[in-house]
A and B are shown apart, each in its own frame.
Chain A
Amino acid sequence: MSNDPVLDVEQLKTYFYLDEERVAKAVDDISFSIYPGETVALVGESGSGKSITALSIMQLINKPGKIVGGSISIASEEILTLSSKQMEKIRGNDIAMIFQEPMTALNPVFTIGNQISEILRKHKKLSNKAAQEKAINLLKTVGISRAEEIVNEYPHQLSGGMRQRVMIAMAISCDPKLLIADEPTTALDVTIQAQILDLMADMKEKFHMALLLITHDLGVVSEYADRVMVMYGGQIVEEAPTSKLLELTKHPYSQGLLESLPKLEEDVDRLGTIKGTVPPAYDFPSGCRFSSRCPFVMEKCKQSSTDLKKIDQDHFVRCYLYENGGSEE
């Protein structure tokens, strides 16, 4: 991967102040970088903080949530200190985001053409006519054949897969450097999911974007991501290139996730499970946040937690089991 990162997140903390006593540490001290042309997956279950990470990058965190620490830079420019006006210029232009449920992300009372051309008028200062033409071209780029008709239709007239194609068209309209996709195919059927994921991979190549793919599906990760970060309890617990993470899985949580997946290629009588449930973000166990569910928990895990440590040149794990440079005891 080349030179400077597109996105650099350093010690980001996003907390939600629920009431006087309870603070939900939804994202707690995470750092990572994404380089040009890379697809990086952020994996975790609900409540792991993966979506909040994305929303923090977009600076779409609302009260009672607040980014309380750290820095985020896009192409070496710090964005956490920008005013909301300046941030508007970055959002949609340098970074674009695709959401899980395209029906709620699109405005039901405006036509598709209207919604795409709005971005072009705002960011690219195109005239109405030019924006409308560009909108049609964009729809064709994302594989919508009846683009001339679709621009005049409303979101409810389209299927889920088509709506997600429209979302992708909107996202790429200003040639962003980074595309964040938050569970982009979770609401779709598998055959449509495959179409959309392939389209995103194509668009990434064509427009030289970096892609941050947020998902709970390790199958999707395995087929599309170059690198994976596994999140649990607002922290990254393991990070490695995809094949390494799936083959040499180190963190007990990542292992548990993999074992609990029903496999198509092999028969198992019982699935592996992770006992218990994800604790709420205002009530993490002291020490390691996974200690309440970990099958290998040790006394010191309940007292304190370790950092994300390098165990190999590109493999990082946050776990006491691998304290001494990755040698299992």
Chain B
Amino acid sequence: MTNLQTITSYSGSDDILLDVQNIKKYFPIKGGVLKRTIGHLKAVDDVSFTVKKGETLGIVGESGSGKSTLGRVILNLLDPTEGKIYFNGQEISQLKRKQVRPLRKDMQIVFQDPFASLNSKMSVAELVEEPLLVQTSLSKSQRKERAIEIIEKVGLRADDRLKYPHEFSGGQRQRISIARALIMNPQFVICDEPVSALDVSIQAQVLNLMKDLQDDLGLTYLFIAHDLGVVKHISDRVAVMYLGKIAEIAPKKELYENPLHPYTQGLLSSIPVIDKSKKQREKIKITGDLPSPANPPSGCVFRTRCPKAHDRCAVEQPLFTKKADGHYVACHLYT
């Protein structure tokens, strides 16, 4: 529990929008004839962090790191197994279904695949206006007015309202998803791999749009992605997740220039970069595959792939250590 204290002490002031404390999400694994629970898949295992108003916290991790599950727990789409989430100072992790609904206005999500996340039988107007229909008592003409406003804001044309999702390219569909997320004027948007299905030239358009909207509307983002370049571009702070845990969290510049956790170091040096001078960087290789989250290694979860693992790593779980202002790392090398 010490990691909670260290992380929250980093800020602890009024400008905190989201405060996640010791969140765990375990999925039961059923087996046998009686379908009894025979184990747990620890998708998110004791994660704590805060997000300030107006900032973007990037969450990076490979598949299976628990980053998407974390986003869904925060949005109340999944109930946490343990832990607390405060949004604007209000505890939201224990709310009943009915109590959650007003909250949905303030918290929205943009999903990865704009082909799967938009109902193909609804026109853009219906898709974008649907949240207004559910959440507000606006009249038809008011809804239309508001929808046009937001559709133009995300860079589509007002007469695109009458078209259907299949008439748009991937990048434009992602703009529709963003319009749908923003129509209620949320404070907080979780972006779950919003650009990873897009080509680079389109990805850049959508990333620029998201930055502009953040400046315009004062949005706070939790940006979940596996692409370290994309996360670096959009985030103010970055948390690196591995097997359900945060390995390292730091302001962007600090994390990319001075990564401390061997996993972060390995991750950064695994990315093929366009090195115009072609000078060979020293590569830190991460060997092997991600262990199963149903049966994570004892002690430090990264130790089975860590080039710097030592005896202590197998027995003791590393706690967060503060290495610089806002820079925390969970690794025995620094304790």
Contact = CB atoms under 8 A, between A and B. Distances in A.
- A-B complex is real: yes
Interface of A: 45-46, 159, 161-162, 189-195, 197, 216-224, 243, 246-247, 256-265, 267-268, 270-275, 277-278
Contact of B270 (A161, A190, A261): A190
Contacts of A190: 62, 226, 228, 267, 270-271
A262 B200 CA distance: 9
A217 B34 CA distance: 48
Given A193-B272, A268-B233, A270-B211, 5 more contacts: A45-B202, A192-B289, A193-B270, A194-B283, A243-B278
Contacts of A246: 274, 276
A277 B202 contact: yes
Contacts of B267: 190-191
B226 to A, nearest CB: 7
B141 interface: no
Q: Which of A45, A220, A277 has the largest count of B CB atoms less than 10 A from its CB?
A: A277
B274 A189 contact: no
23 contacts: A190-B267, A191-B266, A191-B305, A195-B285, A195-B287, A197-B272, A218-B274, A220-B272, A222-B274, A224-B272, A243-B276, A258-B274, A260-B200, A261-B229, A262-B207, A262-B230, A263-B229, A263-B274, A264-B228, A264-B229, A271-B233, A275-B205, A278-B199
A146 to B, nearest CB: 12
A161 B204 CA distance: 28
Contacts of B266: 191
B123 interface: no
B286 A191 contact: yes
A193 B226 CA distance: 12
B233 A273 contact: no
Interface in B196-238: 199-205, 207-208, 211, 226-230, 232-233
B226 A271 contact: no
B335 interface: no
Given A190-B271, A260-B201, A270 B226 contact: no
A223 B275 CA distance: 8
Contact of B272 (A46, A219, A262): A219
B208 A270 contact: yes
Contacts of B290: 159, 189
Contacts of A216: 199-200
Contacts of A259: 204
A165 to B, nearest CB: 11
A265 B230 contact: no
Contact of B273 (A45, A264, A272): A264
Given A195-B287, A264-B229, A257 B272 contact: no
Contact of A219 (B207, B273, B287): B273
A273 B230 contact: no
A264 B256 CA distance: 8
Given A45-B200, A271-B233, A278-B199, A194 B268 contact: no
B117 interface: no
A191 B200 contact: no
A278 to B, nearest CB: 7
B71 interface: no
Contacts of A218: 200, 274
Nearest to B231: A262
Contacts of B278: 222, 243
Interface string B41-64: 000000000000000000000110
Nearest to A48: B199
A264 B232 contact: yes
Contacts of A268: 233
B205 A273 contact: yes
B200 A261 contact: yes
Contacts of B199: 45-46, 216, 278
Nearest to B274: A222
A262 B202 contact: no
A7 B253 CA distance: 46
B285 A189 contact: no
A324 B110 CA distance: 48
Q: Which of A259, A262, A274 has the largest count of B CB atoms less than 10 A from its CB?
A: A262
Contacts of A193: 270, 272
A159 B289 contact: yes
Nearest to A260: B204
B169 interface: yes
A324 to B, nearest CB: 27
Contacts of A162: 289
B165 interface: no
Contacts of B305: 191
A205 to B, nearest CB: 17
Contact of B171 (A192, A220, A277): A277
A194 B288 CA distance: 11
Interface in B271-317: 271-276, 278, 283, 285-287, 289-290, 305
B328 to A, nearest CB: 22
Contacts of B62: 189-192
B196 to A, nearest CB: 10
B171 A217 contact: no
A194 B229 contact: no
B169 A277 contact: yes
A273 B270 contact: no
Contacts of B227: 262
Interface in B142-163: none
A247 B228 contact: no
